[in-house]
Structure 1
């Protein structure tokens, strides 16, 4: 059963541009082409794209998805790698949760500086924001992941 890109998009709930992007990135294999040069996808593309979309719904990076796809493509491979990858991803999620909780505390403290009444020139929020903010800090978790932690930025590349 072959289908065009629009049909694949409809079956998987994935936008056409995203499908093309996954092809360019090598996550989704290039489909065969019809005589009219239309992309022709099959059930394998549906399965692989569904796998990729599930990984993305778990906020996995392309690198993590690539590693899992490589394991999926080699059924004889040891599954311990998948377990370690998920364990590491879980750790990053826990770090991000802690960062978000810290951010929430900072925002609540900032909000408490203003009653919401009076002129903006006396606003405690605006006065506090005029002060130099914290500089980016490299945390052990971020250094391990190869990126610099900047408060307020919670995605890793």
Structure 2
């Protein structure tokens, strides 16, 4: 199977597939005599696994660890459980951050009343004078798929 075919089958862009190969999440396929990559069912399976993990907002390091663990089918699954527990904790933290963000945005939106000029806009005023205590208190950002890992927690 060529890269365009596997891209279509998985819904993953060609550039992303090449990136996953480059960073070692997907093994490089063999090359045909023509030089084209020759993807196998195992590549398709791996890419679908990665896609499912990304849909769960897992970071590349988490996916890499799950792949490593999946390659040891007879091992104890406690490491998989621990990884999922850490990820779930991260998701719960993000939910709290998003709730706080929602509260802040609602307060800003209520600061504006109809019929006022932009110079009197409570939203813009609130954004320029928002107290520092309203800023997020964690090192997470709001970009999906990004995680802050503290040393030793991976």
Find the aligned partners of 2:7 and 2:120 in 1 and give their Cα distance: 53
2:21 alignment partner, one of 14, 19, 23? 23
Compute the displacement of 1:116 (Å): 3.1
Compute the displacement of 1:134 (Å): 2.2
Q: Give 3-state SS (helix, strand or coil) of 1:118's partner.
A: coil
Q: Give 3-state SS (helix, strand or coil) of 1:102's partner.
A: helix
What does residue 110 of structure 1 align with? 108
Compute the displacement of 1:129 (Å): 1.6
Find the aligned partners of 1:69 and 1:13 in 2 and give their Cα distance: 20
Uncovered stretches (5+) of structure 2, i.e. residues with no partner = 149-154
What does residue 152 of structure 2 align with? none
CA distances 1:19-40 after superposition (whole Å, capped 9, x unpaired): 0010001000000000011000
TM-score, normalized by length of structure 2?
Answer: 0.87
Find the aligned partners of 1:137 and 1:11 in 2 and give their Cα distance: 40
Between the two structures, name the one with larger relative contact order (CA 8 Å, sep ≥ 6): 2
TM-score, normalized by length of structure 1?
Answer: 0.85
Find the aligned partners of 1:77 and 1:133 in 2 and give their Cα distance: 51
Compared CA separation, residues 75 and 149, structure 1 to 2 (3 A): closer
Find the aligned partners of 1:91 and 1:127 in 2 and give their Cα distance: 35
Q: How many residues align structurally?
A: 146
